[in-house]
Amino acid sequence: MKAGTILREFKAKNGKTVTLRAPRWSDLDDMLDFINSLVEEGADIGVDTKKTREEEIDWLLDLLSKVEKEQMIAVCAEVDDRFIGIMEVTPQMGRMKHVGRLGVSLKDGYRDLGIGSELMREAENQAPKHGLEMISLEVYETNERARHVYQKCGYQETGKIPKGIKRDGKYIDSIIMVKFLG
């Protein structure tokens, strides 16, 4: 998919128009602010340290390359011409290449508006074009909001990794959820 390709628009629960589109180079500063704001708020994500601009440049270059070569799926959510969230699906390798690993995150202030659910629907729309038959994800056991959204979208808990996450010296189970497509 070409950088910046618009996939669709919809209205969020707050009435704002949300554009779903492919990432683009001009997202760099918004993306850096985004990831660092998630780290600051202590969001339930794997990243636990703020990123430098150089690190974000390297990450975005890699992301754009993989998306353009159709080696992964990435869709950004935009409101008022500003990046506010992202969904990524990374196809697995070899005998697991029919499975994609999903990640979704939204900036504070844009959650509970239906945007995350729409990003997940878009993941499911794009996945078959990449030969994916199933999407899997891992979520912090303590992240009730995300687990509810995933269940509402048809994902089922299939297992857990005991003590799979270590945060502030305490262990949290990582819940594995999957959805078969089609």
Domain spans in the chain, listed from the N-terminal domain onward: 6-139
Average pLDDT, the chain: 96
* Mean predicted confidence (pLDDT) in 8-21: 97
pTM for the structure as a whole: 0.92
Each residue of 114-158: pLDDT tens digit?
Answer: 999 999 999 999 999 999 999 999 999 999 989 999 999 999 999
6-139: CATH number: 3.40.630.30
* Torsion angle defined by CA atoms of residues 56, 59, 65 and 69, in that order, rounded to the nearest 10 degrees: -140
Q: What is the pLDDT at residue 182?
A: 81
Q: What pLDDT sits at residue 128?
A: 96
* pLDDT tens track for 39-57: 999 999 999 999 999 999 9
Q: Would you call 51 exposed, middle or buried from its count of C-beta atoms within 10 A (0-12, 13-18, 19+)?
A: middle
